[in-house]
Chain A
Amino acid sequence: MQNTLRVAVAAASMLALGAGSAAAQVSDDVVRIGVLADMSGIYNDLSGKGAVEAVKMAAEDFGGNVLGKKIDVIFADHLNKPDVGAAKAREWFDTGGVDLINDLANSGVARAVAAVAKEKKRHIIVNGASNMGITNELCSPYAIHYAYDAYSLAHGTGKAVVEQGGKSWFFLTVDFAFGIGLEQQVSDVVRANKGRVVGAARHPLATTDFSSYILQAQASKAEIIGVASTGADAVNAIKAAAEFGATKNQKLAALLLWIEDVHSLGLQTAQGLMLTNAWYWDMNDETRKFAKRFYDRVGKMPNMAQAADYSSTMFYLNAVKAAGTDNADKVSAKMREMTVSDMFTKSGKVRVDGRFMHDMYLWQVKSPAESKAAWDYLKPVATIPAEQAFQPLADSKCDLVKK
């Protein structure tokens, strides 16, 4: 009797031990990646289905398994509302078994989710949003800002325009974290180059009629109208500027344009605009190969965020494999040791504040005559080395940075 009890206890504890060690490897036997994207709103084209497909492609290319456990990709629509995004992230982390949230287009949503991730100690990778808070006041060992940010846009397009002689600026700014953050960054660059900012008009997200804002911009007599919005907002603002004759005496600087925005503006309207992108589908054979596969699945060319969704998901999965576990702290440490060399970047590395360091590129939109094929829109102007493209570590307000 005694013996059987002892055997039973031993067996039970061995079982428990076994279960324990398995749990330490991969929690609930699956590595789950949640894509939190704008599936229906104005950033749908930039993130949406393309983002989900990019992450799925990465999971498939990785073999569908990591450490012998299935990789599961789920997605949800944040509706561009920070409260919706944060509640979804909380639920995913609490009960959905989600290990990583990717994409996060919309800066307001990204900020809200970054706070949740920090609280819950789970990973997020921000590709769709630009807000500097991710690597500053909201930074954590679990957040990586991967594709681009407001600083890099300001030091790309913003700086290039100032250097071409655009000294006085008026901003058309979308009224939330993204627009305001971008306006601040570009204003800093303008002032640092002895230019001045004469004013700004703030408009709500998804504005369709820009006429009165364009009028304010015209009345300001600024040389440059800085469009601190993106997606449909930027497209509408640029069109309204052309319609109301603002482009005759003033120049436009679109601070964040995507390949899709150029596509919907048309080259006739968009030609000559400068844009800062981390990636373009027509850079080399590797990018073209990825773009073709993506095109076959989604029906359009990938943009820099979607390419980054793919690249960063691969990066995360490689880190899980190298760490031998999906434990957030161990994966985090691994991600900060490893370098990335793939079709997105040749030498990418995560800095302590969560900034993923890689080169950025300044592009110019081709004229209709220069464009040879569908989606042949951009020509390279300059490469911005990582150290110049991103905020110096010394300026970061992140409390992980030792000063």
Chain B
Amino acid sequence: MEIFGIPHQAFLGQIMLGLVNGAFYAVLSLGLAIIFGLLRIVNFAHGAFFMVGAFVAFLIGRDLGIGYWPAMILVPLIVGFLGVVFERVALRRIYRLDPLYGLLLTFGMVLVLEGGFRVAMGSSGQRFATPEALRGVWNLGFMILPIYRAFVILVAVVVCAGTWIVIEKTRMGAYLRAATERPELTQAFGINVPVLLTLTYGAGVALAGFAGVLAAPIQQVSPSMGSDLVIIVFAIVVIGGLGSVFGSAITGLGLGVIEGLTKVYYSEASTTVVFLVMALVLLLRPAGLFGREEG
């Protein structure tokens, strides 16, 4: 059986791998979108925190013997804490300025983190073993799928759904939504918006750190692992609609699949197709696929 001249095995296989990549995009863009929604900061350091997450998982595994499963909890906490510190020390000083400065400040942070890890750990990648329980493969008929990759898709969906529940159904989420819509009014109701901002930034980068742990066994852990990823995730959030949290998660998965399809037909263009989509979306539907036009 063939689809447009491509054996359907390859076709389905690439879509499957696209979903795996899409899962990372979804978790990363989720965090980025939450941060932008509330802080109006384009967090360029998102990819760097993703990298830090992977490194922390690697380091606590190597030096403290902490395994993969505890790392899934510990690493987001550690990375989230780093984010909180960064927000308190630096980010909050520039909220009143043009969003451009947020972009630049976090870009500086990228250089510091990437350079720092390069100095400390070298540029070449470190291997990170797949956890024992998730080794092995499933034969899906059209492809051999390593169990770990299926696990990544599953976890990403759970995390996105969990975040949705937190934002839509909890009191905390209600504050968050309120503060996103009307910060001054929310403050007037006695909610501590500055703390909310700090926690939101922490939670957003914690998600990035979590994605880093997920990625560690698939990619090698290296200082540059988040560097090109960040602009792709950016594009995804813009396509989904800046600030639209679920729009970006869904767009993330969708673009993973589009990338996979591109690999079937024109493999070299797979890293560029995201930007093509972004340019088209911005020109035709400026607020993004799921966003609302702002005044």
Contact = CB atoms under 8 A, between A and B. Distances in A.
Q: In the complex, is A directly touching B at CB under 8 Å? A: yes
Nearest to A239: B127
A174 interface: no
B267 A245 contact: no
Given A41-B123, A41-B124, A216 B267 contact: yes
A44 B17 contact: no
A243 B220 CA distance: 15
Contacts of A41: 123-124
Contacts of B235: none
A91 interface: no
B7 A232 contact: no
B122 A208 contact: no
B94 interface: no
A232 B220 contact: yes
Given A202-B267, A208-B222, A209-B218, A215 B10 contact: yes
The interface centre, meaning the residue of A206, A208, A236 with most chain B CB atoms within 10 A of its CB, is A208
A15 B33 CA distance: 75
B122 A44 contact: yes
Contacts of B149: 211
A44 B146 contact: no
B274 to A, nearest CB: 15
A216 B220 CA distance: 21
B225 A208 contact: yes
B137 A245 contact: yes
A218 B144 CA distance: 10
A229 to B, nearest CB: 14
B170 interface: no
Interface in A195-226: 201-202, 206, 208-209, 211-212, 215-216, 218-219
Contact of B124 (A202, A209, A211, A232): A232
Nearest to B137: A245
What class of interface size applies to chain A in its complex with B? 20 to 34
B143 interface: yes
A51 to B, nearest CB: 15
A81 to B, nearest CB: 12
B252 interface: no
What class of interface size applies to chain B in its complex with A? 20 to 34
A40 B14 CA distance: 32
A253 B124 CA distance: 24
A45 B224 CA distance: 18
A86 interface: no
Given A216-B10, A232-B220, A236-B220, A211 B17 contact: yes
Given A215-B10, A244-B143, A40 B267 contact: no
A42 interface: yes
Contacts of B17: 211-212, 215
A218 B20 CA distance: 19
Interface of B: 6-7, 9-10, 13-14, 17, 20, 118, 122-125, 137, 139, 143-144, 146, 149, 218-220, 222, 224-225, 260, 263, 267-268, 270
Closest 10 CB pairs of A and B: A219-B10, A245-B144, A40-B123, A208-B219, A215-B13, A208-B220, A212-B263, A212-B17, A244-B144, A211-B17
14 contacts: A41-B124, A44-B123, A44-B124, A45-B124, A211-B149, A212-B14, A212-B263, A212-B267, A215-B143, A216-B10, A216-B263, A232-B124, A232-B125, A236-B220
